[in-house]
Chain A
């Protein structure tokens, strides 16, 4: 079984400042890792994903994340945020391979990013 912990429930930041949203996971097997974003009154949208290969992955809207296997982390970063980045962000994990567990996502608790002018 997998679990995900997002270390910050809320992150306030000023516009144009850098931001990091932290995510740690626990799993006995290798995993796929994801960040989803939920804008107010909307469903979830995939920001980026790590399946294999380069540990630095780039996503939409200027976000990137780095997979660190030794620290079991997958932190999300953006060098300069905009007001429009205000949203809730979810880290998620899925187990690769076959079987009925394939494709199921386990989500973290969410981090609310608020960008102030």
Chain B
């Protein structure tokens, strides 16, 4: 079984609809992230959460909201979808930092959700 799962994998919706993308992880990681990928732009961070009570905006949070329901679940919502939110969305997780400033914990990515807003 995959460690980081995303549902749905593909979704087509209409402008103005509310939609939720879900991410679950079995890695036991504290930190979770939502990115969107657009051709030629790479991945851009939407929101990130360092634990259940710590949620932060990324570089492109406008038009999105998130919910960290539990350590293992992090959902991304589009309250009123618009066509320029058509993209590939990735969830990622990483462990709590254990060491000092020179430590690093790898981010593990889910398989992605392809969202199309008509």
Contacts and interface: CB of A to CB of B under 8 A. Distances in A.
Q: Do A and B come from one complex?
A: yes
Contacts, number: 60
Interface size on B, as a range, is 20 to 34
B74 interface: no
B101 A109 contact: no
Interface of A: 4, 6, 9, 32, 41-46, 49, 51-52, 90, 94, 96-98, 100, 102-110
Interface of B: 4, 31, 33, 35, 40-45, 48, 50, 56, 58, 90, 92, 94, 97, 101-102, 104-107, 109-112
A103 B31 contact: yes
B3 to A, nearest CB: 10
Nearest to A9: B40
A51 B104 CA distance: 8
Contact of B104 (A6, A32, A109): A32
A55 to B, nearest CB: 16
Contacts of B105: 103
